[in-house]
Amino acid sequence: MNALGTKPLAGVIPLFALAMCVANIWVPYSYWFDELFSVTVSAQSLGGVFHDMLRDVHPPLYQVLLWAWMGLFGDSEPATRSLSLVFAVAALAHVVVWSKKLHPETRLALLIFFCTTALLPNYAQETRSYAMVLFLSTLLTTGLLDYDGSRRRFIGLVTVCALLSLTHYFGLLLSLAALGWLLFRDRRDHARVLTIFAVLALAAAWPASQFLLGDIADKTGGQFWIKVDGPIDTIMTAIRAPTNLTGFFIVFALIAALSRNLKAEWLAEKSHLARAGFLLAATILLALLIDLHTPISTKRNFIVLLPAYSVLFGIFVGGLLRHPKARLYAYVVLALFALDNAHQAYKHMHKRWMPLQDWRATAALISRDHTPGTALYFIPLHDAKRIGRERDDIFNYYLNRQSYGRLRLAPINIAEIGAAPRPFLILFSENNNNFIEDRLRKQGLADAVTIRYPTQQILHGAGVIESLDD
């Protein structure tokens, strides 16, 4: 397949990504816990948003935008998730347009990597900050690759760095890498150096506020739910983040690098190769250094590196596609890569059709089975103090809507269930499958209550503890 033959493929692949992004937006699956946190925080006044975000582990920009978005479009699942869809589609559109300046084969490989990863459609349909992070990371990565020293590009780049730093702390890491590169390149321009330090001060303002006024200090030093088992674990998490086959691609690229002819193909785009490689390596290194004290690395956080990964993949595989002897093998590898990614993306989408934490169905069960005199409770998360996300509104969100505000759950600890007045219904949600069952058994309550899961095909997640008659 020659360069001309890559154009139809390059046109179809983004349409696949767009279809995957839009697929579930109007499917009525319920929010899960972190989405409920986002919605209930942004349902308050603007002052309330900032107050609650001080206790969270994220910067506030996305929540502020969601607050404004909900003011315009409401708090239904499609309404709030559509904000993420807008950012995901904007990121996709930017990549499609920007990549037109690349070699056709490089562009094809880049688009396959970016458009078939499960990260894109998964977070395009979730009321959290990751689609916004992806959009800003895409602007930052392409802006750095195109940076020519002009005033317009400099202002654009530092502005994106500031916005990304206030959206997610992995966005801050990517911004630190980009600002460090800018600082070295423009070190003789005193005005630009001062501007870079001003952006760094702005980026540091929110985490400093969380340390001084919030409780983020209580989550450092391994006191948070994220666990990372050493530097190798950080690196492997970063490698596996965009796709299951990233490691295979890295090995494939290293082996192919032994060919002098292929090196020549890649060096034709050496500026993009060097800059994208620097962003990738510097961001992973910063995450690794932080993980040594306070683990922060999860696969989803490395969504900030999806654009850089895509560029590097495009350059390496694009070079293979242009090489007469490697072309056939490269197309086979590319096809297998795309099929595996598409399969993984589909699996992520399919999981949403039957959510593990079906809060709406759980609330409907309580609302339906409630009778006058039934006490209604919820069990706070056992690690809520470390997470910093304990809000009554989260547990009452769907029950409030279904009962029009008539019913409300009160908090109760598991140790208090035995003395609670009967009959009662207790909502709970735990990621640890056996946590609730084990605690009830230890309290001697196994025969006094029954546990019901509204989504019968999936055990555990969100459920209801119901008292049994004596």
pLDDT in tens, 269-295: 788 989 999 999 999 999 999 999 999
Instruction: Tell me the sheet residues that pair with 411.
Output: 378
112 falls in which pLDDT band (50, 70, 90)? very high
Which of 102-111, 208-217, 229-238, 288-297 has the lowest average pLDDT?
Answer: 208-217
Looking at residue 387, its pLDDT comes to 43
Looking at residue 43, its pLDDT comes to 94
- What is the pTM (predicted TM-score) of this model? 0.92
Q: Does residue 334 register a pLDDT over 80? A: yes
Looking at residue 366, its pLDDT comes to 93
Q: What is the CA 171 to chain-centroid distance, rounded?
A: 11
3 falls in which pLDDT band (50, 70, 90)? low
Percent of the chain past pLDDT 90, that is, above it, reads 54
Percent of the chain past pLDDT 70, that is, above it, reads 90
Give the full edge-to-edge strand order of the sheet including 449-452: 410-411, 375-378, 424-430, 461-467, 449-452
Q: Does residue 337 register a pLDDT over 90? A: no
Q: 461-467 and 424-430: which strand pairing?
A: antiparallel
**In this structure, what token pair is assigned to residue 398?**
């769907």
Taking residues 409-427, report their average pLDDT. Answer: 91
Instruction: Tell me the sheet residues that pair with 426.
Output: 377, 465
Higher pLDDT, 148 or 316: 148
Looking at residue 408, its pLDDT comes to 94
**In this structure, what token pair is assigned to residue 335?**
């096809």
443 falls in which pLDDT band (50, 70, 90)? confident
69 with 174: CB under 8 angstroms? no
Looking at residue 386, its pLDDT comes to 42
Looking at residue 224, its pLDDT comes to 80
Q: Does residue 254 register a pLDDT over 70? A: no
Rounded Cα–Cα distance for residues 229 and 191 (Å): 42
Taking residues 34-43, report their average pLDDT. Answer: 93
Average pLDDT, the chain: 87
67 falls in which pLDDT band (50, 70, 90)? very high
338 falls in which pLDDT band (50, 70, 90)? confident
409 falls in which pLDDT band (50, 70, 90)? very high
Task: For tokens 């910063």, name the residue.
Answer: 286
Instruction: Tell me the sheet residues that pair with 449.
Output: 467
Rounded Cα–Cα distance for residues 11 and 9 (Å): 5
216 falls in which pLDDT band (50, 70, 90)? confident
385 falls in which pLDDT band (50, 70, 90)? very low
Q: Does residue 244 register a pLDDT over 80? A: no
Looking at residue 384, its pLDDT comes to 46
Rounded Cα–Cα distance for residues 231 and 302 (Å): 15
Looking at residue 167, its pLDDT comes to 98
Rounded Cα–Cα distance for residues 243 and 113 (Å): 9
Looking at residue 298, its pLDDT comes to 93
Give the closest residue to 280 by CA, choosing from 245, 307, 314, 243.
307
Most confident of 178-192, 318-332, 422-436: 178-192
391 Cβ neighbours under 8 A, 6+ residues apart: 37, 40, 41, 52
* DSSP structure string for 285-339: HHHHHHHTTS----TGGGGGGHHHHHHHHHHHHHHHHHSTTTHHHHHHHHHHHHH
Looking at residue 358, its pLDDT comes to 86
